[in-house]
Amino acid sequence: MTLSSSMNAGVSGLNVNASKLATISDNIANSKTFGYKRVDADFTAMTLSGRAGGYVAGGVRVSTFRNISTQGSLITTANSMDIAIGGRGFLPVTPSSSLADTSAALPLRLATTGSFRPDAEGVLTSNSGLVLMGWPADPDGTFPPFPRDSAAGLEPVNIAHNQFAANPTTEIQLGINLPATATQAGGTGDPFDLSIEYFDNLGTTQTMTATFTPIVPATGQSNQWTMEITDLATGAAPIAEFTVQFDATTATGGSLLSVTPVYGGVYNAATGDMNVTFDRGPVDINIGLLGSNNRMTQLSSSFAPINLSKNGAPTGNVIGMEIDKNGVVSANYDTGFAKEIFRVPLIDVPNANALEALPNQTYAVTRDSGAMFLWDAGSGPTGETIGYAREESTTDIAGELTSLIQTQRAYSSNAKIIQTVDEMLQETTNIKR
């Protein structure tokens, strides 16, 4: 019985060290695999009860585990949609093969890194066939609330839907000096016109005209102007009118004193914006705060545009994509503006090491891993998303080679046990001769 148990213990030693060798082989083979998580083997002694005064060798058993929570080193790349995570969390992905089946929900997979590029349909896909998932933005660029405890709402990140886009003008900065002498008694009262180009909702160029007419008093100086806003997209008639009064005191001479709406708009004293509705929709025309002289002023005798600017751009074509630290994917257009189109959340689970390992360095949620929660990158326990980066394998070649030597020695020693037991059994057989 004792010799037999010794033989069995030696056999179990061979088996567990063979398993250990398999994990070492996998680790070394994947030492250059991005996102690979090292596998290890844990040995546990087996104890068997024997008769009094005797000992029965129980041998050893093995359990393997993958250390998913350990993060590999990050390296920089040249692709903006090479994504790594600076800390805890997983990217939501799905196999590209599942996109053809529209009758079922897309299977959710978790990945710690990925290299994504648009495929023929504009879907961001990796070379291994993984599709990046995210929440789509509304047309105005905002993100509505989505469920945080399920994959509902996640869609393949697709740039084809945003290949062309217009960026309408919503803000105009109007920095201009009006001639103070024009509001003196005896002035001609001639208006001053200023035309500004803007972009409508279809990316078409339109023109706004601001007409400044001085109010000329019978005596003295009024320091007062009538400002009319005309949107040529709706015709030649003004769409809004304001009365603008300037200060003439020693301390703040030439600055805005008051802005009074006549029709078609309002003035926001907190922001310095005239809120006017154009043909394309609301537009904020910033003329400055009351008491300030950083936008519209009335000084000297010159009519001079000083600082005119606007947002918006004509229709543009996508020339690139980027992801920021908060997981927001933006499309960059050749007209110089960027548009937020998707938000890629990061998935967190209580026990990452209990996730089920799947092909292509992806994982699936299990009962032992705990329920998942989708965080905005950089919030809660999750790290930030990093573009132009990949996560390397967690394999340590030096450590694996050391384990390889130790495993080889242990395997040889267990083989020696079997050889010794065999020789002892042979000696027992020889007693009969």
pLDDT tens column, 51-74: 666 777 777 888 888 999 999 999
Write out the H or E segment, with its range, that includes residue 17: helix 2-29
Q: Do 22 and 117 share a domain, yes or no?
A: no
Buried/exposed code over 225-258 (b: 16+ C-beta within 10 A; e: otherwise)? bebbbbbeeeeeebbbbbebbbbbeeeeebbbbe
DSSP category for residue 327: S
Average pLDDT over residues 259-271: 95
Report whether 194 contacts 310 (CB < 8 A).
no
Q: Do 227 and 292 share a domain, yes or no?
A: yes
Q: Do 281 and 207 share a domain, yes or no?
A: yes
**pLDDT bracket for residue 8 (50, 70, 90):** confident
Average pLDDT over residues 68-92: 95
pLDDT digits (tens, 9 = 90+) for 132-161: 999 999 877 889 999 999 998 999 999 887
% pLDDT > 90, the chain: 70
The confidence score (pLDDT) of residue 53 equals 61
Report whether 347 contacts 380 (CB < 8 A).
no
Q: Do 351 and 399 share a domain, yes or no?
A: no
* CATH number of the domain where residue 297 is located: 2.60.98
Q: Do 254 and 273 share a domain, yes or no?
A: yes
The confidence score (pLDDT) of residue 160 equals 81
| Of 52, 58, 127, 59, residue with least CA distance to 93 | 127
* Total of domains in the chain: 3
**In which region does residue 78 sit, left (phi positive, over 0), alpha (psi from -120 to 50) or beta (all else)?**
alpha
The confidence score (pLDDT) of residue 1 equals 55
Tokens encoding 411: 């395997």
Q: Do 400 and 300 share a domain, yes or no?
A: no
Q: Do 205 and 290 share a domain, yes or no?
A: yes
| Of 259, 139, 283, 152, residue with least CA distance to 207 | 283
| Cβ-based neighbour number of residue 264 at 10 Å | 16
Q: Do 382 and 408 share a domain, yes or no?
A: no
Report whether 265 contacts 229 (CB < 8 A).
yes
What's phi and psi for 105, nearest 5 deg? -70, 145
Q: Do 275 and 339 share a domain, yes or no?
A: no
Q: Do 226 and 204 share a domain, yes or no?
A: yes
Name the CA dihedral angle for 65, 68, 69, 73, rounded to a multiple of 10 degrees.
120
Instruction: State yes or no: pLDDT of 163 exceeds 80.
Output: no
Instruction: State yes or no: pLDDT of 117 exceeds 80.
Output: yes
> 343, exposed or middle or buried, with CB in 10 Å at 0-12, 13-18, 19+?
buried
Q: Which of 277, 294, 311 delimits the end of a domain?
A: 311
Domain that holds residue 252: 169-311
Average pLDDT over residues 180-207: 92
pLDDT digits (tens, 9 = 90+) for 169-188: 999 999 999 999 999 999 99
Q: Do 185 and 294 share a domain, yes or no?
A: yes
Q: Which of 245, 278, 311 delimits the end of a domain?
A: 311
Q: Residue 250 is which amino acid? A: T
Q: Do 193 and 255 share a domain, yes or no?
A: yes
Question: What is this structure's pTM?
Answer: 0.75
Sequence-ordered list of residues with C-beta below 8 angstroms from that of 406, at least 6 positions apart, any chain: none
Q: Which of 283, 311, 339 delimits the end of a domain?
A: 311
The confidence score (pLDDT) of residue 124 equals 95
3-state secondary structure of 4: helix
